[in-house]
Amino acid sequence: MNVSLHQLKVFIAVARERSFTRAAHEFDLTQSAVSRCVRELEEALDLKLFDRTTRQVELTTAGASLERRIARLLDEIDLTLHEERVTHDAHTGVVVVASNPVLSSSWIPSGVARCAAAFPDLIVSVQDQSQAAVLTSVERGEVDFGVVSDAQAPQTDSLHAQVVFSAALRAAVPLDHPLAGHAVLHWRALSDLPLIMLNADAGSRAVVEAALRGHGVRPRSTQELGHVAAVLRMVELGLGVGVLPGDAHWPAASACLVARSLVPEVNLTTMLVRRRNRSLRPNAAAAWAQFAAAGAAWAAAHTVREATRGMEERDHDAAPLR
C-alpha cells in the first residue's frame, strides 16, 4: 500500500467540502487533479470512498469511517509539527535541565531567572536528580543538558562538559568551636572529629572522601545529607564539622557559623554537560548560554567574597592548624 500524506489531506478536504471543485480551490489544484488524487487513494486502499453524481458528492460508509479517523490523525500531525517548530525557536518552547539538588538550591535559580528575563516565552524546567542520574539522563537524551559538580569533567566519549566555576572545599564550624579561632585549617585538623558532608547525590562526596584519604584523616564519624542547609543546621547544633564547597551565600550573615579554608586546597568544579557530537536545539543552546553567564556571575561574586575572606585571614594567625 502506497498512500501519501497529500492524498489523505485532499481526501479530507473533499469530505469536508462535499465538493471536488471547492477542495481544488483549497489546494490551488484543478478539479481533475483532485479527482485523480482521490481515485489513486481509492485504488491504493481498494475502497470506494465517495458516491459521485452530477450534483453532489457523498461519502460511502467506508469513506465516512476513514474520514473520522484520518481527520483526527492529521490534526495530531499538524499539532506535532507546530510544536516541533516552536521548540526549535530559540526564544520559545520548553528546555529541560537536570541538576543535583544542591546546585538546584544555589545558583541554578539564577540561570532560570536569566532565561526568563532574556526569553519570556521560553520555559526552563529543572529536574532534581542525583548526580549519577543527571549524567544518565543527559546520555540518554531525556533532558536537554545537565549540571554537575566533580573534581574534573566526566571521562566519557558520550558527554561534553563546559566548566562554569570552581569552589574550594571549606570547613564550617560554630563560632564557639575550637577550630573557629584558626583562619586556615589543614585537612589533618579534622581527624577524630565528627564530620557532616553532602551525600553522593550532590556530587561532592567522592571529592571529600578522596581528600580525607589523601591526607590520612580518620573522622570519628560521618553524616551525609542532601542539602547544604541541612549540613549547616547540624553543624549549628554542635553535631560535627561541616565540609562543603565554598559558596558566596553561606554561612548567612546572621548565622552563628564561620567558614574556614582547608589546605592544601581541594576544588569542586561545576559544569554544564550535554551529549557529545549532538547539537543542542536552538532554544536549549540559548538556555545553555544563560546558565553559563549565571555561573560566571556567581564566580565573580565568589571571587569578591574570597578576596574579603583573604583580608580577614591576614588579620588572623594565618598559620594553618594541623
| Rounded Cα gap, residues 144 and 275, in angstroms | 9
pLDDT of residue 99: 95
pLDDT at 119: 93
pLDDT for 55 equals: 77
Flag whether 82 is in a domain: yes
189/308 same-domain check: yes
Which of 63, 87, 111 represents a domain boundary (last residue)?
87
Amino acid (one-letter) located at 55:
R
DSSP codes joined into one string, 245-261 = E--TT-S-TTSSEEEEE
Output the pLDDT for position 173: 94
Q: Which of 58, 87, 116 is the last residue of a domain?
A: 87
Any idea what the CATH number is for the domain that residue 76 is in?
1.10.10.10
Q: Quote the distance between the C-alpha of residue 250 and its chain's center.
A: 24
Q: Are residues 60 and 168 in the same domain?
A: no
Q: Are 81 and 178 part of one and the same domain?
A: no
The beta strand positions in the chain, using DSSP E, are 50-52, 57-59, 93-99, 122-128, 145-150, 159-174, 184-186, 194-198, 221-225, 241-245, 257-263, 267-275
pLDDT, residue 87, reads 57
pLDDT the model gives residue 241? 96
Number of domains in the chain: 2
The pLDDT value recorded for residue 297 is 82
The residues that bridge with 127 in the sheet, in sequence order, are 98
Q: Which of 67, 87, 107 corresponds to the end of one domain?
A: 87
Evaluate whether residue 157 is within a structural domain: no
Q: Tens of pLDDT along the chain (322 residues)?
A: 688 889 989 989 999 989 988 999 988 999 999 999 999 988 988 899 998 877 788 999 998 998 988 888 888 888 777 666 665 556 788 999 999 988 998 889 999 999 999 999 999 999 999 999 999 999 999 999 999 998 777 777 889 999 998 889 999 999 999 999 998 999 999 999 999 999 988 888 889 999 999 999 999 999 999 888 899 999 999 999 999 988 755 666 557 899 999 999 999 999 999 999 888 988 999 999 999 998 888 777 666 555 555 545 445 554 566 6
Supply the pLDDT for residue 74. Answer: 86
Taking the C-alpha atoms of residue 281 and residue 114, their distance in angstroms, rounded to an integer, is 18
Q: In terms of residue numbers, what domain contains 59?
A: 5-87
What percentage of the chain's residues is helix, strand, coil (to nearest 5)?
45, 25, 30
169 & 309 share domain: yes
Residue 263 lies in a domain: yes
For residue 106, tell me if it sits in a domain. no
The CATH number given to whatever domain includes residue 210 is 3.40.190.290
Residue 253 resides in a domain: yes
